Amino acid sequence: MSELNEATNTTDGATPAPYLIDCSPLLAELPGASFDVPEFTLTSTSEGELIHTTVQARVDRTNRGVRLIAHVRGVQEGACARCLSPARAALETRIDEEVLEERHAQGEGERLGRGNSVDLGRIAVEGLDLVRRLVLHCDPLCPERCGHCGAPHQTEECPEREVDPRLAVLGSLLPPSGDQPEVKG
């Protein structure tokens, strides 16, 4: 079993990498060697919402690079789209991705970075971002807000709803509430 080290926490860009690991010791092994990455946590922001992430991963040596196998769990925190109260959603995904050495890479595939490093944190956050809720709601589901008064009930049920005086005549054609119209035929 090989040992992986946390690499220097920088990438080619200006932003620091969330969880960069050095795969050089594993790449020195024959294909089939593996290493269990210690469980780690991250916090990221996606479109104004916090995502707290926990990652359990294993890195296997392949004949072209390394294979990342990870179980990623997280909690998405933000404002409910209906009532604007704080809301949370549990997220979970699995990652199974091969990261190739430059000499084997073709196209848009994931590649080992400088110093044979892999940004496992970035890959985990991107995987969790694919399963996050685009519209966050309370759980259990909160009632809709009224468009007239803002109270937690539907607009049709609003006691403060005013009837347009021009349409008041049409109200007389409706049966009293609670009565069922008579069905003929």
* HEC string for 13-63: CCCCCCCEEECHHHHCCCCCCEEEEEEEEEEEEECCEEEEEEEEEEEEECC
State the total domains in the chain.
2
CA distances from 157 to 40, 53, 111, 142, 178 (A): 49, 41, 57, 16, 14
What integer pLDDT is reported at residue 179 of this predicted model? 58
Residues 36 and 92 in one domain: yes
What integer pLDDT is reported at residue 109 of this predicted model? 73
Q: Is 15 among the domain residues?
A: yes
Residues 125 and 179 in one domain: no
Residues 96 and 169 in one domain: no
Q: Is 111 among the domain residues?
A: yes
Residues 6+ apart with CB under 8 A from 115: 7, 8, 22, 24
Q: Is the pTM of this model over 0.75?
A: no
Residues 157 and 75 in one domain: no
What integer pLDDT is reported at residue 9 of this predicted model? 41
Closest to 99 measured CA to CA, from 110, 114, 86: 110
Residues 26 and 49 in one domain: yes
Bridge partners of 42? 53
What integer pLDDT is reported at residue 161 of this predicted model? 67
Closest to 9 measured CA to CA, from 70, 18, 120: 18
Q: Is 137 among the domain residues?
A: no
Parts of the chain with a pLDDT under 50: 1-14
Round to whole Å and give the CA distance between 78 and 41.
Answer: 19
Other Cβ atoms within 10 Å of 37 Cβ, number = 19
What integer pLDDT is reported at residue 8 of this predicted model? 42
What integer pLDDT is reported at residue 170 of this predicted model? 78
Round to whole Å and give the CA distance between 26 and 37.
Answer: 12
Residues 121 and 151 in one domain: no
Residues 40 and 125 in one domain: yes
Residues 93 and 157 in one domain: no
What integer pLDDT is reported at residue 11 of this predicted model? 40
Name the residue range of residue 169's domain: 144-185
Residues 28 and 79 in one domain: yes
